Amino acid sequence: MGLTTAARWRLLLVAVLAVLSIVGFMTWNVQSDWAFIIEYRGSRLLAMLLVAVAMGVSTLVFQTLTHSRILTPSLMGFDVLYVLVHALGLAFWARLGLGSMPAVVFVLDVLLMAGIALVLFRLLFGDSVRGLHLLILLGMLGGLLFRELTELALRVLDPTEFSIQSGRSIASFSRINLSLLWVALVLTLGCVTLVFTQRRRLDVLNLGRDVAINLGVSYRRTVTLLLVVASVLVSVSTALVGPMLFFGLLATNLAYWISGTHQHSWTLVTTVLVAVVCLVGGQLLVEQILQSRLPFVMLLELCGGVLFILLLLRGVRE
Amino acid sequence: MIEAKTLSKRYNERLVVQDVSLQIPRGGVTAIIGPNGAGKSTLLSMISRLTPMSAGSVEIDGMDVTRTPGPELAKRLSILRQHNQTSLRLSVRDLVAFGRFPHSGGRLTAEDQHHIDEALDYLSLNEFQDRHLDELSGGQRQRAYVAMVMCQDTDYVLLDEPLNNIDMRFAVDMMQLLRRAADEKGKTVVVVLHDINFASCYSDHIIAMRGGKLAWQGTPDEVMRDEILSELYEIPMQVHELNGQRICVYFRMG
């Protein structure tokens, strides 16, 4: 296995671009004093790095488990499920007096989310071989359902809670939820370390269920663990910047192309680098260098969306 | 020894395998035959823990397949199913190398490389080893998967219809290879076959299944009989002795 020479050069280029993006983001057009810049831009940068890592890694893991280059946790509604859990939980946590501790609420949300994911997978997997396909179909439906339920929940909550709610819970890129930065950092590092230790098993899982079991991978346990980890990573990303539908898809597919391999020790690293370039580099380019008023996340999602359609069309043709 | 006790598989209300108890001794080639829907593949995948059983148990050398840790079992028993499709761009050598996963966890040692070379050699895949799987013919791809299983180097090798989609030459090659694996390397080979003449010519032991049940078992001489085969497949069949091999003819009777 390993990389071809061309792939090595491409990877090196992406790595250089990632570093340039980060440096550029911190230093471009600095007008006020450095202490402020480092704190202001630094926290924003950290949030974006965490989102890049969380979305990239969770999508990659998910695509390996589902043997698909098109499905992502976002398309299956993981991110809206998190928003729903958060919205429904908020009123409850507030009553327990935890309303003023966003980090604690966040951890509780993530635990709840992981728990729900775990129960759903256990129920759906059963002992059936077709479990995963069923899961995908239900996930697509679930995505829609969660979206509608979230809408409903937000309307049903009483007005004061709603205003707290909409002001605080649905983060976006222009309103990054910085209060959760440190918890998010710990969770992301934990999850990514875990995924990285499983990278060789992921390679085997890529060959399909039967081959993986033949080669001694405890299929059900490993898949459940990895799906739960993916759901935690999606929660982290959604809590920081809100739902993003196509970003993960963009990052993994670019990474498959750049690395030209399916070996996870390479694709994991490549996906993260690509995600950083897209997110941090894209932000720098559109908002700082080009001084454009266009919301850059929209552009990113547009690229991802176009890629999604292209992949679908190619899938249809094959 | 592989020992199955009162093994059953039920999908909803339908019993696909019903109360099968059998023993497959160590060494030699055992063929599982029977008409479509007899439960051959289901039996094989329950023995190899790919499909959970509804009732009964399977032991491999005394180890219960549902309770023995995956990696432990993967060093003793390998299974290859019929439909091996992957969209991954893997070279033949990469695929074969996966056979070493139970032994080295994906970090290949010099000894692993030796096993990989040997398996490639064994299946005459040397010249194809750097080709990608999607560039191969169906037969070559099938051999690449068999090489992976051989590379796994287990005492028990289970194969579900390995002769599917390959021409006569490769079918004969494949059966000779399985025979050699049993004779020279002392492996226990269990193989589901549709062509009963291959079963007759290459196996030591035949297990015949029908309607989810064990119908007959024995040596090829015992099972390759007109009345048994005619009843098993529900068509007139005649067994002839040609060059010391029992060959069944059924293509156009009467």
CB contact under 8 A, B105 and A1: no
CA angle B81, B2, B23 (to 5 degrees): 115
The pLDDT assigned to A291 comes to: 83
First to last CA, chain B: 43
Asked if the model's pLDDT at residue A97 lies above 50, the reply is yes
**Which residue(s) pair with B241 in the sheet?**
B246
Compute the average pLDDT of residues B124-128: 90
Residue B38 is assigned to a structural domain of this protein: no
The complex's ipTM? Answer: 0.93
User: In the predicted model, is pLDDT for residue B168 greater than 60?
Assistant: yes
CB pair distance less than 8 Å for B52 and A127? yes
- Gap from A231 CA to chain B (nearest CA, Å): 25
Q: How does residue A151 score in pLDDT terms, banded at 50, 70 and 90? A: confident
Residues A141, A147: Cα–Cα separation, whole Å: 10
Q: How many helices (H) and strands (E) does chain A have?
A: 14, 0
Beta strands B55-60 and B14-24 are: unpaired
Contacts (Cβ under 8 Å, ≥6 apart) of B87: A67
**Number of folded domains that form chain B:** 1
Interface test with A, best of B9, B45, B101, B158 (most A CBs within 10 A): B101
For residue B225, what is the DSSP state? -
From residue A154, alpha-carbon distances to A91, A140, A158, A164, B211 in Å are 11, 22, 9, 11, 57
pLDDT tops 80 at residue A159: no
- Residue B2's pLDDT is 95
For A215, the closest of B49, B94, B102 (CB atoms) is B102
**CA-CA distance, A95 to A226, in Å (whole number)?**
33
Residues 48-87 of B with CB under 8 A from A: 48-52, 69-75, 78-81, 84-87
Q: Write out the H or E segment, with its range, that includes residue B6.
A: strand B2-11
Q: What is the pLDDT of residue B252?
A: 85
Range of the structural domain that residue A60 is part of:
35-317
What DSSP line would sit under B139-156, residue for residue?
Answer: HHHHHHHHHHHHHT--SE
- Checking if the pLDDT of A267 tops 70, the result is yes
Residues of chain A contacting residue B86, judged by C-beta atoms under 8 Å apart: 206-208
| CATH code at position A289 | 1.10.3470.10
Question: Cβ neighbours of residue B168 under 8 Å, at least 6 residues apart?
Answer: none
Q: Are strands B238-242 and B77-80 parallel, antiparallel or unpaired?
A: unpaired
Start-to-end Cα distance in chain A: 26
Which of the two residues, A288 and A62, has the higher pLDDT score? A62
At residue A79, the pLDDT reads 85
Residue B132 lies in a domain: yes
- Which of A1, A130, A211 should be substituted to probe chain B, the one whose Cβ sees the most B Cβ atoms within 10 Å? A211
Q: Which of B74, B85, B97 sits opposite A214 (nearest CB)?
A: B74
**Sheet with B77-80: strands ordered across:** B77-80, B156-160, B188-192, B28-33, B205-210, B213-218
Mean pLDDT over A15-28 rounds to 94
Flag whether A195 is in a domain: yes
Q: Which H or E run contains B138? A: helix B138-151
> Do A216 and B70 count as a contact with CB atoms less than 8 A apart?
yes
**Residue among A1, A200, A262 whose CB faces B105 most closely:** A200
Question: What average pLDDT does range B117-142 have in this prediction?
Answer: 89
CB B76 within 8 A of CB B154: yes
The model's pLDDT over A31-66, given as tens digits with 9 standing for 90+, comes to 778 888 888 889 999 999 999 999 999 999 999 988
How high is the pLDDT of residue A255? Answer: 96
User: How many domains does chain A contain in total?
Assistant: 1
The per-residue pLDDT for A174 is: 75
**Is A189 a member of any domain?**
yes
Q: Check if the beta carbon of residue A171 is closer than 8 Å to that of residue A241.
A: yes
Q: B94 contacts in A (CB within 8 Å)?
A: 1
Query: Is the torsion defined by CA of A213, A215, A218, A223 positive or negative?
Result: negative
Q: Which of B52, B74, B88 lies at the smallest CB-CB distance from A216?
A: B74
Q: How far does B248 lie from chain A, in Å, by closest CA? A: 34
- Mean pLDDT over B43-51 rounds to 94
pLDDT band of residue A263 (cuts 50, 70, 90) is very high
Residue A293 CB neighbour total at 10 angstroms: 7
> Poorest-confidence range of A107-111, A292-296, B22-26, B248-252?
A292-296
Residue B117 covered by a domain: yes
Residue B43, pLDDT above cutoff 50 = yes
Stretch 129-158 of chain B: residues touching chain A, C-beta under 8 Å: 149, 152
pLDDT value of position A4: 86
List CB contacts (< 8 A) between B80 and chain A.
214
pLDDT tens-digit map of B6-26: 999 998 888 999 999 999 999
- The pLDDT of residue A133 is 64
Contact B88 A217 (CB under 8 A): no
- Does B253 have pLDDT greater than 50? yes
The rounded percent of chain A whose pLDDT value lies above 90 is 44
With tokens 């939820």, the residue in question is A177
- Among A177, A168, A172, smallest CA distance to A46 is for A177
What is the percent of chain B with per-residue pLDDT over 90, rounded to a whole number?
Answer: 80
pLDDT at B117: 95
Q: How far apart are CA B173 and CA A98, in angstroms?
A: 71
The predicted structure's pLDDT at residue A172: 78
**Residue A78's closest CA among A209, A248, A293, A202?**
A248
Q: Positive or negative CA dihedral for B73, B76, B79, B80? A: positive
- pLDDT 10s digits, A62-81: 999 888 888 888 888 888 88
Distance CA A97, CA A100 (A): 7
Tell me, yes or no, if A222 comes closer than 8 A to chain B by beta carbon: no
In the prediction, which pLDDT does B19 show? 94
Q: Nearest 5°: phi and psi at B53? A: -85, 150
Residue A189 has pLDDT above 90, yes or no: yes
Q: Given a cut of 90, is residue A160 above it in pLDDT?
A: no
Q: What is the pLDDT of residue A163?
A: 53
At residue A131, the pLDDT reads: 54
Q: Is residue A171 part of a domain?
A: yes
pLDDT tier at A273, thresholds 50, 70, 90? very high
Within 13 Å and on the Cβ side, how many CA atoms surround B250?
19
Q: Where does the pLDDT of residue A1 fall: very low under 50, low under 70, confident under 90, or very high at 90 and above? A: low
In a domain, B120, yes or no: yes
- Within a domain: A2: no
Test the A interface: residue of B42, B50, B68 with most A CBs within 10 Å = B50
- Give the mutation candidate from A215, A264, A318 for the B interface (greatest B CB count, under 10 A): A215
What is the C-alpha separation between A306 and A301, in angstroms, rounded? 9
Q: A137-146, B12-21, B55-64: lowest mean pLDDT where?
A: A137-146
Q: B216, B199 in Cβ contact below 8 A? A: no
A207·B88 Cβ contact <8 A: yes
Residues B189 and B182: beta-carbon distance below 8 Å: yes
Name residue A303's amino acid. Answer: C
Mean pLDDT throughout B227-233?
A: 94
Q: Is residue A26 part of a domain?
A: no
CB contact under 8 A, B75 and A1: no
Domain with B94, as residue range(s), is 79-153
Residue A6 lies in a domain: no
Query: A220 in contact with B at a CB cutoff of 8 Å?
Result: no
pLDDT at A129: 47
In a domain? residue B16: no
Residue A160, domain member (yes or no) = yes
Amino acid at A145: L
* Residue in the structure block whose two tokens are 């003023």: A100
Residue B217: φ, ψ to 5°: -150, 155
- Whether residue B137 is contained in a domain is answered as yes
